[in-house]
Amino acid sequence: MLALLDTLNPEQRTAVTLPDESALILAGAGSGKTRVLTTRIAWLIQTNRVSPHGILAVTFTNKAAKEMLTRISAMLPINTRGMWVGTFHGLANRLLRTHWREAGLPQSFQILDSADQLSAIKRLMKAMNVDTEKYEPKKVQWFINGHKEAGRRARDAEAFDEYSMRMAELFEAYDAQCQREGVADFPELLLRSYELLYRNEPLREHYRERFKHILIDEFQDTNALQYRWLKLFAGPHAALFAVGDDDQSIYAFRGADTANMAEFEREFARGNVIKLEQNYRSHGHILTAANTLIAQNAHRLGKNLWTAEGDGEPIRIYQAYSDQDEASFVVDEAKNLNREGVAFSDMALLYRSNAQSRVLEHALFSAGVAYRVYGGLRFFERQEIKHALAYLRVMTQPEDDGAFLRVVNFPARGIGARTLEQLADTAARSGSSLWQAACTGGGKVGGFASLIEAIKQATSGLTLAETIDHVIEASGLADYYRADKDGADRLENLEELVNAAALFSEESGPDALGADVAPEASEASQPELERFLAHAALEAGEHQAEAGRDALQLMTVHAAKGLEFHAVFITGLEESLFPHEQSAYEEGGLEEERRLMYVAITRARRRLYLSHAQSRMLHGQVRYGLPSRFLDELPGQVLLHLNRRAESPAAHYAAPAPRTAPAGNDTGYRVGQSVAHARFGTGIIIDFEGRGPDARVQVKFRDAGTKWLALAYANLSAA
């Protein structure tokens, strides 16, 4: 028994050796929560407080469940195969497989994944002759799943007008279809198992008698139904051991309710809260920054991370002129770290939204640095980008049958498989492309050909970026993703494609070439759109590092949760980007964004970089933004502000020497002048560069530190 406890700190040991009572374990980032959870299970078994079959342990991913079982096996010589350790859905499935008859399911019921579920809904709607333009299948799917995840059946759905009443009817018809066919979707697993235990008291009492110890991992990520499901297993004498961190609750968009932790404390823990605050991952300055930032949130249970490893290096802040400059800085620093012996795979580039990866990928690709997009696709491999590029390919190379087939019915235009088969037969008989067959035919495929021709005419004479922007709108892609509940990221990616086109024009146009540089004759005569498509194909087809190769890790902050790295770069720290602009319109949105920033900071072990850009390409045009408020919320004593030295961008960084305003300055401002800003307060201009509308000033504010501001957007006034 002592061997199990030897490596634990006092708080961890207290949590592991708790008597048979419920408790909330408030486990900070890097505090060893998985060790505590698995050691608690091993200790309960080793001390004969419970048998392996008397434990119910729930987590959120199969990977986490497998790791728990592996660690338990390493600590105890037991067979873990029969233990109820798994995900919510995995354990719900196990319960329904065991009690299929009581649950009203066939013994061999099948599980529908999301794609299978959508297909089943489309089949149902076709059979019911439902207008799929008015009632989009994907919206019907969201309606059904949203209600199920909230614990509601069709009879409980709010129906207050013709539309919602029809949606409730489809929900009821879908459930009936699934019952006839003996299938269950993912939300059904949890809801059906909850209903089974709720209405079957003997069965409920059986499991309450069996599971005397219930352990829950990542409790902050539970939704309403998952918490209710857990409570059904909890008899009057059960000990619930909930491990979580309300400061890392970042999945509200999936239904996670951080209030479950406070409710659990009131209902079960009754003040029995153990805080795991010693961090084994990060150096002190990183933790000081994280603690100070998250303290701005009002609704939290409260804890303060600390480490015995010392303060470590300061957090480096870089203010870039542009998003390209920011990407270049990141690449240079990563290469420097690699030369110092840090593996690329132990570095992570984090960003708030997927669209930000495009500029970073381009910089890494150009510098020859191997990278891997973790938990997602490279920019040019994403579905919406491939759709947009396919439209462009049909415009430039209509004989490209692959591109034609990708978009002829996307977004849906009522062109079914049978119509396309007939079109392919026509093309084969005449030896033509599908496009040519569509042009000579009629009906809806003819309408698609007319759409492409209309787009070609409308974009004649437009710039490359304007052309792509028009294609995204005129094709229906923008409207399709606007109507998609989960389409916001895809819309941002399409906007980033417009930015990529604008940058491509800037970098490859005649003004970008030196006096002694000329393009090849064949390249110079090739239309810009065709060259851009070739460029996109090259970036899509290369440089994502193969498995096992040392490569820089790119990912969203959401994808980074649970991971750690020697060095972390958090990019795009600007207002409306991080925190995201949507947070201003959602209740608790800003606090969730701050928790997301907290998660990002605590991924770093030794080196942390925070960067923001004064200008960024948005919607194909340069936009100027303010630094993120999160930068202002960090303690100044742990920060080191960097500015790139022009003579050696890859070497050292130092603060620039102040300059006087340039001759001919016509802005009305001068170095040494006192100014006021609506957000940052009063300050003094200490540096100045540029002229006219491009001028920017560096202001040392009394309470907000030193900041560069573009005069055209700064809204400064004389103090």
Catalytic residue among 217, 245, 361, 593: 217
Q: Which residue is catalytic, options 281, 300, 594, 603?
A: 603
Residue with tokens 């307060």: 681
The angle formed by the CA atoms of residues 215, 217 and 220, to the nearest 5 degrees, is: 120
Indicate the SS3 state at residue 411.
coil
**Annotated active-site residue in 12, 39, 141, 248:** 248
Query: Of these residues, 14, 17, 21, 34, which one is catalytic?
Result: 34
Is 265 in the active site? no
Q: Are 128 and 173 in contact (CB under 8 A)?
A: yes
Residues 6+ apart with CB under 8 A from 107: 100, 101
* CA 348/CA 346 separation, integer angstroms: 7
Which is the catalytic residue, given 11, 149, 185, 218? 218
| E strand residue ranges, 183-307 | 183-185, 213-216, 239-244, 273-276
Record the tokens describing residue 210, joined without a space. Answer: 């069996």
Spatial CA neighbour of 231 closest among 260, 192, 259 = 260
CB contact at 8 A, 554 and 357: yes
Query: What φ, ψ does residue 569 adopt, rounded to 5°?
Result: -110, 120
Say how far apart CA 20 and CA 83 lie, in whole Å. 19
Q: Side chain identity at 160, as an amino acid letter?
A: F
φ, ψ dihedrals at 301, nearest 5°: -80, -30
- Any catalytic annotation for residue 217? yes
For Cα atoms 560, 563, 567, give the angle at the middle one, nearest 5 degrees: 90
Beta pairing class for 696-701 and 681-689: antiparallel
Q: How far is CA 375 from the centre of its chain?
A: 9
Neighbours of 690 (CB within 10 A): 15
> CB–CB of 455/475 below 8 Å?
yes
If 0-12 CB within 10 Å is exposed, 13-18 middle and 19+ buried, where does residue 393 land?
A: buried
The tokens of 206 are what?
A: 């059986």
Nearest to residue 640, comparing CAs of 680, 611, 598? 611
Pairwise CA distance, residues 716 & 719, whole Å: 9
Query: Residue 217 and residue 330: Cα distance in Å, rounded?
Result: 35
What is d(CA 635, CA 288) in angstroms, rounded to the nearest whole number?
Answer: 8
For the question of residue 218 being annotated catalytic, the response is yes
Pairing status of strand 565-570 against strand 604-618? parallel
Q: Per the omega criterion (within 30 degrees of 0), is the bond before 137 cis?
A: no
Q: Are 570 and 610 in contact (CB under 8 A)?
A: yes
> 108 by DSSP, 3-state: which?
coil
Report how many helices (DSSP H) and strands (DSSP E) the chain contains, helices first.
29, 21
Point out the residues that are catalytic. Answer: 33-34, 217-218, 248, 603
